[in-house]
Amino acid sequence: MKKSSSSMILYCLLNRLPIIILGDESSNVDDFLIELSELMHFRKDLVFYTDFISLEEYQQLLQNEDIDYNTQRTQVRCPCSVSNKSLMQFNHFDSWIIGLETINEKNHIKTLNNFVRSKIPVFLEIKFFSDSISVDLVGLNEKEIDLAFEQNVLQKISQDTEKSVIKMKRVLSERIKSENIDKDLIANLLDFEVEKQELKKNILKSEIQNFFSGSKRAFFILSRMHLMNGFEMNARIGSKTLLETIDYYDASIERIITFIYKEWGEDFSEIFENGKKANALDRMQSLWG
C-alpha cells in the first residue's frame, strides 16, 4: 500500500470519518476491520449486532460521552454479514468501520458506491480485493487535507524500525565468528521480517498514544480556559505556549485542535491568539521557563 494511502487511512481513523471496506472475501475484510479498529486502542470498540442491534441500544451506549469527557469514546466495527442491516437502519456513521462483501466488477462496485453515498456523504473507501487494494476519499477533496502529521508518523515508523533491525543484526553478526556455519543458517539468524512487522505495530501504537495523550492534555487546558471565558475573563494562549505546556511537539496546533473537535466535539480555536500578539504571549510565558 502506498504511504499516501496509509496516511489517509490514519487521518480518517483519528478524525472519526466513516470507513467502508469493499472486498471479495468477507473473512479477509472482517480481519481488516479488526486490524484497523485496533489501531485506535484508546477508543472503546463496539461490534454491530454483537454489542447492540438497535438505534436505541446504540444511543444508550453513547449517552455518557455527552456528559463525561473522561468516558472512553466509542468506535463501531460492522462485519460484512450485517453491513446491509446497518446501512438501512442507521443515519450517522461517525467512527464506524464497515465491511461490504462484493465482486470485483466495475459496474457492481459503482452501484454499491452510489448506495453508500446516499447514506453517508463523506467516507473513506478501501477496495480490498484478492488481487488489488486501493484507497479513495469520497465527498472531500484530498488536496485540501493536511496529512503532515500522519506522514511524519509513518516516516518515523520506517526509520525507527530500520534502526532497530540494523542494531539486532549487528549484535548477532558480531557473534557469528565461525566460518564453518552454513550460509543459509546465517541468513535465517539474521532474518527479522517477522520481528520487523511487530516493531512497526508497536511504534505506531506508541505514536498514536502519544498524540492522543498530548491532545487530551491540551483539551483539559483549553476546556478550562473556555470555562473562564464564560465568566468574561478573556483567557487566551499562544500556540507555542500550549505545545510547551503539554510537552508534545510532533503535531501542529491545527492538527491537535481538529482532533479535539472530532473526538470530544469542542471547538477551541477562538482561544488562540494570532500574529504579533501570540508571539508576545509566547515570549512572556517563556520568561518563566
| pLDDT tens for each residue of 40-95 | 999 999 999 999 999 999 999 999 998 899 999 999 999 999 999 999 999 999 99
Q: What is residue 273's predicted lDDT score, i.e. its pLDDT?
A: 81
C-alpha cell of 97?
468501520
Distance, CA of 270 to CA of 251 (rounded, Å): 19
Where in the chain do CATH 3.40.50 domains reside? 3-142
- Whole-angstrom Cα distance, residue 203 to residue 289? 31
More confident residue, 156 or 275: 156
Architecture of domain 3-142: 3-Layer(aba) Sandwich (3.40)
Asked if pLDDT for residue 281 goes beyond 70, the answer is: no
Q: What is the mean pLDDT of residues 195-208?
A: 96
27-103-94 Cα angle (round to 5): 65
- Identity of the residue numbered 82: V
Q: CB of 78 within 8 A of CB of 9?
A: no
Q: Average pLDDT, stretch 145-164?
A: 96
Grid cell of 219 as nine digits? 483539551
The half-sphere exposure of 112 on its side-chain side, counting CA atoms within 13 A, is 20
For residue 142, give every residue at least 6 positions away whose Cβ sits within 8 Å of its Cβ, in sequence order, or none: 8
Q: What is the dihedral of CA 136, 141, 142, 144, to 10 degrees?
A: -170
Say which residue, 168 or 283, is predicted with more confidence. Answer: 168
Q: How large a percentage of the chain has pLDDT more than 90?
A: 84
**Between 279 and 196, the higher pLDDT residue:** 196
**Whether residue 289 has pLDDT greater than 80:** no
As a whole number of angstroms, the distance between CA 214 and CA 204 comes to 15
* Average pLDDT of the chain, as a whole number: 92
Position 265: which residue type? G
